[in-house]
A and B are shown apart, each in its own frame.
Chain A
């Protein structure tokens, strides 16, 4: 009888531990704000503010096969220039990036070509954010210094390309002389030495494969799917 009671007590302790762990995991979900505030301060110190929009995408590219299937070109390149473009009736700015091709994995382009890619998001100013809000007159005006502050307008935590970056892109022809990245940010990879990896959208890290691999593995995969 006593042994039974001991076993029951052990069970109760185990059960309690599980419930405590479960409760602390829910606390964790709300704790990101503190860390984020620190990061925000650091970014403000550097003179650039980050703002973010969160979206619902309609098509998922989980692997190299699906990206290859919908791409006209697959290239590695250097971002030579990035300029911001605005569309009437859109809150988010767009970025037009000139990318100099340094490696052609697939497609009818040559090394040295400079291609233009368009993507949503990019560098803008507080003045634009204020004007495009449609509520500028409802609130006190910003100082000139505040209006001129630069803003990195990210979508789902991912920045548009910036000058000086080395990238690997799956591109699709859009308009005359302009390419889009396949799947928005999904066909955009960072290149570090000979390794590539795509940044994950915020909150989707658990379901979004980073597809980290070597450039040579990528090249052989793309070529096998293009056959």
Chain B
């Protein structure tokens, strides 16, 4: 009887604690039309407007956190800066508006029309960084905002998981770089 009971309990424990695959990431359901590159084979480009030049090192670092995965999971992401705006699929600009509570905003375009990422793919995206809000954040958190916006531009929506770069800063984001679930989200879209 004892044997059977312990067997039953073991099975139950296995069911409850077995690390089944679960996801915190949320996808828009659409993506960058021509993808995020394919590491080692082909790449995509991003472009910095003059106004975003002051964030150039942080933008590069933020990209590196997406390209060089910190976890065992790798992604196809391959992006490099270009001085040719036309060749780029993600642009960066900045503005200075203290009345705006946002530190970063991402806009999605198909040709020259803006689109909702839940409704259609986008050919390119523009990321706006708000100097007036970023200046109150540490450089790590500034980089986190940029990585967050890059995540949007590639197709990831907000989630409430503090250990995901796609959690909003105001809602308690505790990482300035993408973590396992964020990479899983990218792979769910582009692999």
Chain A residues packing against B (C-beta within 8 Å) = 3-4, 7-8, 10-11, 14-15, 18-19, 22-23, 25-26, 29-34, 36-37, 39-40, 50-60, 87, 89-92, 118, 120, 126, 129-130, 133-136, 138-140, 142, 151, 153, 155-156, 174, 180, 183-184, 186, 201-204, 206-208
Residues of chain A contacted by B145 (CB below 8 angstroms) = 56
Report which of B20, B95, B106 forms a contact with A54, defined as CB distance below 8 A.
B106
Residues of chain A contacted by B118 (CB below 8 angstroms) = 32-33, 36, 52, 202
Interface size class of B (residues with CB under 8 A): 35 or more
Report which of B21, B105, B112 forms a contact with A55, defined as CB distance below 8 A.
B105
Chain B residues packing against A (C-beta within 8 Å) = 3-4, 7-8, 11-12, 14-15, 18, 20-23, 25-30, 51, 85-86, 91, 93, 95, 97, 99-109, 111-120, 124, 126, 128, 133, 136-137, 145, 148-149, 152, 157-160, 168-172, 188
Q: Is the interface of B mostly helix, strand, loop or mixed?
A: mixed
Q: Is the interface of A mostly helix, strand, loop or mixed?
A: mixed
Residues of chain B contacted by A34 (CB below 8 angstroms) = 29
Residues of chain B contacted by A130 (CB below 8 angstroms) = 112-113
In the assembled complex, the Cα of A134 lies from the Cα of B111 at a distance in Å of 11
The 5 A-B pairs with the shortest beta carbon distances in the complex, nearest first, are A33-B29, A11-B11, A203-B158, A207-B160, A60-B170
Distance from A31 Cβ to chain B, minimum over Cβ atoms (Å) = 7
Distance from A1 Cβ to chain B, minimum over Cβ atoms (Å) = 10
